[in-house]
Structure 1
């Protein structure tokens, strides 16, 4: 038999093996989907819970609510911690679920934790400005805590855009902030290699996006628009791949619940007050005024050199929304002599849900605060 003839003889066997493997893979996939559909059909909306830690509303103003989380230990640090989240998405990513909750871990380590929930802006909120959010809502929540605890200063933790807000607030009211923590917070917005910054206009300015026309046409900026914008930054990973992986996830009820919690958080996107969105896009993304000392909040100018209190700057090494260089720029512009930067080897969302980060991040925050009580 020739060598060629041998290969011809082997070909049907190889083809048969390939078809058998393919058939088995198809059968396995079908079984996973059928089992997954059983899991999916048995789930109820009330089981997909985010924001699991018990909390109490202690102050309300317009659509804004200040929550206090139920303490877990008898002896807490004497100065409360106020978390300021971004206006985009809901703030309960910091309290996503049992075992993956920054809030719960901070409580277990003895912090007294409060959180500002911005609520859902409606058409009547279209004219809210950064002045309303920073000189109004944030300042009123801080003053509530100062009065309640009879303190001159409280601790502030600003997350993402909330970190930028917290920087503005600490610049305007340094006498009210004892310690400032920023987490994945953008500072230098001139990041042309980052898609979010480029889309916002850090390189092209108004030519990238005519925010004036958008606000005048829409009033408030729809949350769905912002969601699509974020998803399009990683269209394959966030728009397709996670759903292609779904059959592998659906077979486990716990994994399926985790997946649906994330989906619920991602697509629970409040609209953005038009005037606030206008100023944030123009002043921060398109003109990079924060590091230039040119941002005006009401009648006051934000000067980052006014920040003299201790600062802990937390950032994600693989962040595609807020690149490390944007966050790390902070040290150059503040006047604090007590500045600490700490990185974690994850992406933006990993700062909230990564098991390793949940193990290491809360002690980092609490240990840093303890020596500055």
Structure 2
């Protein structure tokens, strides 16, 4: 109870975890005179670089900067930052940022996880004082304030008060109301053909006269609503599959409440994946299924597939994983919030509430990309006085769900901390769900800028299975890289297939050897699915089975998607 009450003050972050990291850093830095001398030397040389650049820029305004922002840092892109005194503030800030990177990395004897936590905390603290976030140090804000007579600041104050009011009343951000499931998004025609306490199974209406014999089952992550894969009609993966002659089923997860606190990972497997397969079997008897999982849904589907392989259950025709990890030894930046101390803190908080709140998870994701999701919005909405236009992907991102206490605690402990799945120690019904037993053709997708499931972590599937693996590395991030409809400009991907018993390359060698292609990887996947389906097209199956528990009920998107 004490931990749960403390969590309300810290936003769910463990003070003990941060303190341990800071102590590890400070003790080892104090014990490393060579590292301290190196930092002193770097500090003096950076001051020298700054002063030399200042002198040269005074003589020639076109003098190149002494340091450039890191890739992806767009805070100082505007030409106004090239003028003095703003150029000096920018260069001083970037050099200071670089020095703190040196100070928090490569400290002899320091635990790697603690190093990452300290570096992350230092970066967050530095970003608070970035010139881009300070009104009198940001030339764009000053220019807007001068030309508008301060109207931008008044409008920004109104925007801030509106956002605070919406948050206090548990309302979604401004503009989300323009993207309602069933109206503007999640509009692919379909029916709810099965429902239990945990899922609604959606079956989508055929769009072609004949269809491929094997249906596709999509298992989305339960942390967000399913319609990331059925957004607007122009970028809906579900609509694309249906148009290519596939029969598509999709799970829509329940938004759990405190009453669901005892749901486990095995409940999600049994009442989710396995129940969906049973329903599909009743609607399309004797047909194998192309299993497709996204993010956490892909991890759960891989566990189910491994357990099915152990039990000689051959209902799956293939397995596709979108940005889904099966080896959590290098899980990306989310690992900053996951260690034994933090897990104890989260466990106490979830025990008290019965679930992990959607706001808690959203806050963690925002911190990982604070420049893009926190500070840039503060500047744009509150200091520039403009509203960031809402789009379908942003509206979906604001429509998050909760996670039940026991399931999420098991997920973090067994997968993130103990890495049981990759080690072959994840038990289902008392038997190991070994990925090595999967003999299905695999298609896996990683995204270049994924901070949730880094592509090199997703790639480790190659080392855990002994079957055909086709791997795609696509441009974009965790969400935008998956929502990659044909025709969108600037899309590209790499693809290569490792045959069963073929040689495994490390991730970087694979990246060099894979075939680069322009366009959407959706078309590559559609061809892959068609090649692993029966050659003969068949008549579309019925929508559900009337008179049974699989009878068609509400229209898609169903009812669970509206739970708050």
**1:287 equivalent in structure 2:** 418
Q: CA shift at 1:95, angstroms?
A: 1.2
Gaps of at least 5 residues in structure 1 are: 1-13
Q: Aligned equivalents of 1:108 and 1:28: distance in 2?
A: 53
Q: Aligned equivalents of 2:409 and 2:196: distance in 1?
A: 23
**1:361 equivalent in structure 2:** 521
Deviations 1:162-208 (A, max 9, x none): 1101110110113121110001001221117x22023223xxxx124
| Contact 1:128/1:273 (<8 A) preserved | yes
Moved more, 217-226 or 78-87: 217-226
Q: Aligned equivalents of 1:125 and 1:113: distance in 2?
A: 29
| Contact 2:323/2:446 (<8 A) preserved | yes
**1:196 equivalent in structure 2:** 334
Equivalences for residues 86-165 of structure 1 within 5 A: 86-165=221-300
| Contact 1:100/1:352 (<8 A) preserved | no
Q: 1:327 aligns with which of 455, 458, 461?
A: 458
Q: CA shift at 1:298, angstroms?
A: 4.1
| Equivalent position SS for 2:343 | coil
Shift of the 221–77 alpha-carbon distance from structure 1 to 2, 3 Å rule, reads same
| Equivalent position SS for 2:520 | helix
Is structure 2 residue 339 aligned with structure 1 residue 209?
no
Shift of the 105–92 alpha-carbon distance from structure 1 to 2, 3 Å rule, reads same
Q: CA shift at 1:217, angstroms?
A: 2.5
Deviations 1:302-327 (A, max 9, x none): 11011111000111021111111111
Q: CA shift at 1:77, angstroms?
A: 1.3
**1:26 equivalent in structure 2:** 147
| Equivalent position SS for 2:262 | coil
Equivalences for residues 219-230 of structure 1 within 5 A: 219-230=354-365
Q: CA shift at 1:212, angstroms?
A: 3.4
Q: Aligned equivalents of 2:324 and 2:353: distance in 1?
A: 27
Shift of the 85–29 alpha-carbon distance from structure 1 to 2, 3 Å rule, reads farther
| Contact 1:85/1:163 (<8 A) preserved | yes
| Contact 1:51/1:95 (<8 A) preserved | yes
Q: 2:473 aligns with which of 343, 350, 361?
A: 343
Q: CA shift at 1:366, angstroms?
A: 1.2
Q: Aligned equivalents of 1:238 and 1:179: distance in 2?
A: 37
| Equivalent position SS for 1:87 | coil
Deviations 1:196-253 (A, max 9, x none): 023223xxxx1243143233222211111111111111112112314544699979xx
Q: Aligned equivalents of 1:370 and 1:110: distance in 2?
A: 9
Gaps of at least 5 residues in structure 2 are: 1-82, 84-138, 160-173, 493-518, 534-564
Q: CA shift at 1:78, angstroms?
A: 0.9
Under a length normalisation based on structure 2, what TM-score does the superposition of the two structures give? 0.55
Q: Aligned equivalents of 2:403 and 2:449: distance in 1?
A: 27
Q: Aligned equivalents of 1:135 and 1:153: distance in 2?
A: 18
| Contact 2:190/2:203 (<8 A) preserved | yes
Moved more, 123-132 or 210-219: 210-219
Shift of the 105–120 alpha-carbon distance from structure 1 to 2, 3 Å rule, reads same
Q: 2:195 aligns with which of 48, 54, 60?
A: 60
| Contact 2:347/2:405 (<8 A) preserved | no
| Contact 1:64/1:116 (<8 A) preserved | yes
Shift of the 50–297 alpha-carbon distance from structure 1 to 2, 3 Å rule, reads farther
Q: 1:185 aligns with which of 319, 324, 339?
A: 324
RMSD: 3.2
Deviations 1:62-87 (A, max 9, x none): 14100012222222211000000111
| Contact 1:184/1:348 (<8 A) preserved | yes
**1:311 equivalent in structure 2:** 442
Q: CA shift at 1:25, angstroms?
A: 7.7
| Equivalent position SS for 1:150 | coil
**2:215 equivalent in structure 1:** 80
